[in-house]
């Protein structure tokens, strides 16, 4: 698929997404890399647009540069957002005993602190993402595995094999302490995300460097 055809496909995917108002989104494509510019009326819609574009077959990467133009009825003061965000995190059962701080500047929420698992880091992000008034979220929470958790290459490879969406033979896994490096080729953006999710779900993982390349051309298997 050439860039022009891919642009049409991405636009149709955005227009088809029911949770997204895509009227003010502009799409450009170069060498399979999609750039989204313009604006959306809420921060969650920015994520929906990025996800929808990435799921289109043939997309190698997505640069999401959308601005969040909040309607007046969704505007909130930084103090109101900070209070709501702190409550959302405190009431989240997945974040019990987590030490997370919230900072808000002109609707941009910054999360700082440390948790033991990546799912907790993501849960904190989701807890504040949908609050009225939020324009952006900077998630600076660090994943610090507990001492007895060790990232084991065989565990991650087993998780990749269990995932029906992935061809695990095409994915290389390298472990450096609590750091995981994924390399090789996948056939779609969603496969790339699924591989990273599988790696993050393994115990002891503190960071994942996803170097997987989206390629529709069959390649040699990674050993």
Indicate whether 98 and 129 sit together in one domain.
yes
Rg (CA), the chain: 19
Q: 55 with 95, same domain?
A: no
pLDDT value of residue 197: 86
Q: Is residue 148 part of a domain?
A: no
Query: Which of 17-26, 27-36, 52-61, 145-154 is predicted least confidently?
Result: 145-154
* Least trusted range by pLDDT, from 6-10, 33-37, 81-85, 188-192: 188-192
For residue range 148-172, list pLDDT tens digits in order.
445 457 778 787 887 766 777 888 8
How many Cβ atoms from other residues are within 10 Å of residue 144's Cβ?
14
- The CATH number of the domain holding residue 113 is 3.30.1340.30
Structural domain includes residue 100? yes
Specify the residue for token string 């390349």. Answer: 213
Domain with 78 in it: 74-143
Same domain (yes/no): 11, 49:
yes
220 within domain boundaries: no
What average pLDDT is seen over the chain? 86
Quote the tokens at residue 19.
Answer: 């949770």
**Confidence (pLDDT) at 146:** 57
| Phi, psi values for residue 220, rounded to 5° | -65, 150
In a domain, 199, yes or no: yes
Q: What is the pLDDT of residue 145?
A: 67
For 126, other C-beta atoms within 10 Å of its C-beta total 14
Question: pLDDT of 181-197, one tens digit each?
Answer: 999 988 888 888 888 88
Same domain, 62 and 101: no
Kindly state whether residues 64 and 78 are assigned to the same domain: no
pLDDT value for 218: 52
Question: Between residues 214 and 63, which one has the greater pLDDT?
Answer: 63
Tell me which of 123, 143, 163 is where a domain ends.
143
pLDDT for res 71? 87
Look at residue 172 and tell me if it is in a domain: yes
78 and 119, same domain (yes or no) = yes
pLDDT in tens, 51-105: 999 989 889 889 999 999 988 888 899 999 999 999 999 999 999 888 899 999 9
Q: Name the domain boundary from 107, 123, 143.
A: 143
Tell me what percent of the residues of the chain surpass a pLDDT of 70.
91
Adjacency order of strands within the sheet including 108-115: 99-105, 108-115, 136-143
Q: Is residue 9 part of a domain?
A: yes
Same-domain check for residues 107 and 59: no
Residues 137 and 78 in one domain: yes
Number of domains in the chain: 3
Question: In CATH, what number is assigned to the domain containing residue 192?
Answer: 3.30.300.130
Same domain, 95 and 38: no
Over pLDDT 90: what percentage of the chain? Answer: 52
Q: What is the pTM of this model?
A: 0.68
Beta strands in the chain (DSSP E): 25-30, 33-40, 61-64, 67-68, 99-105, 108-115, 136-143, 171-176, 179-186, 207-210, 213-214
Last residue of a domain, one of 143, 175, 194: 143
Say yes or no: 64 and 90 in one domain: no
222: in domain: no
Give the phi and the psi of residue 182 in degrees, each rounded to 5. Answer: -100, 130
């Amino acid at each position: 698929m050439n860039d022009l055809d891919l642009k049409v496909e991405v636009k149709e995917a955005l227009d088809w997404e029911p949770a997204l108002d895509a009227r003010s989104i502009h799409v450009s494509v170069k060498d399979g890399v999609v750039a989204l510019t313009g604006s959306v009326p809420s921060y969650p819609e920015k994520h929906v647009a990025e996800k929808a574009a990435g799921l289109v077959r043939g997309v190698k990467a997505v640069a999401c540069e959308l601005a969040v133009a909040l309607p007046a009825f969704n505007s909130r003061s930084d103090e109101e957002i900070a209070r709501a965000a702190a409550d959302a995190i405190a009431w989240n059962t997945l974040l019990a005993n987590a030490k997370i701080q919230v900072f808000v500047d002109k609707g941009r929420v910054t999360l700082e602190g440390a948790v033991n698992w990546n799912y907790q880091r993501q849960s904190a992000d989701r807890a504040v993402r949908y609050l009225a008034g939020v324009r952006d979220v900077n998630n600076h929470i660090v994943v610090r595995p507990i001492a007895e958790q060790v990232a084991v290459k065989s565990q991650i490879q087993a998780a990749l094999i269990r995932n029906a969406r992935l061809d695990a033979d095409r994915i290389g896994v390298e472990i450096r302490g609590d750091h995981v490096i994924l390399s090789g080729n996948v056939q779609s953006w969603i496969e790339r995300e699924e591989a990273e999710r599988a790696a993050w779900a393994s115990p002891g993982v503190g960071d994942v460097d996803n170097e997987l390349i989206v390629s529709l051309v069959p390649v040699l298997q990674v050993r």
